[in-house]
Amino acid sequence: MGKAIEQTIGKYLVALPPIEVKGRKTKIWEIRGTGNKATLGQIYWHSHWRCYAFFPERFTIFNAECMLDLSKFLQDETEKQKAGWKSKRSQ
């Protein structure tokens, strides 16, 4: 099996390969900066909202471009997750 690679999110952000936790149906990503590789937060499923959400580390700052890039990533991954569930139900 090949090694998972990090995923670029826009110009300044990187998602490390998702962490899959036994017993958990959804993924967790650690988000880092592309420059200094500092951990900026995590993305994981927010069950009350039924979507992936970004949980930033304390004292992190994001500009509008980064927020748009994160928003797109969240939307895309939420759609993939929901589509996967729908396909499993229809089998």
pLDDT confidence of 3, banded at 50, 70, 90? low
pTM of the complete model: 0.88
CA–CA distance, 45 with 83 (Å, rounded to integer)? 15
Assess if residue 59 is contained within a domain.
yes
CB 43 within 8 A of CB 57: no
Q: Which residue has the tokens 């036994």?
A: 22
CA–CA distance, 73 with 54 (Å, rounded to integer)? 10
Assess if residue 2 is contained within a domain.
no
The confidence score (pLDDT) of residue 2 equals 56
pLDDT tens track for 32-88: 999 999 999 999 999 999 999 999 999 999 999 999 999 999 999 999 999 988 777
Domain count across the chain: 1
Q: Which residue has the tokens 């998972």?
A: 4
pLDDT tens track for 10-23: 999 999 999 888 99
Residue 61 is part of which domain span? 7-89
- Sign of the alpha-carbon dihedral angle for 75, 79, 80, 82: positive
Assess if residue 1 is contained within a domain.
no
Assess if residue 32 is contained within a domain.
yes
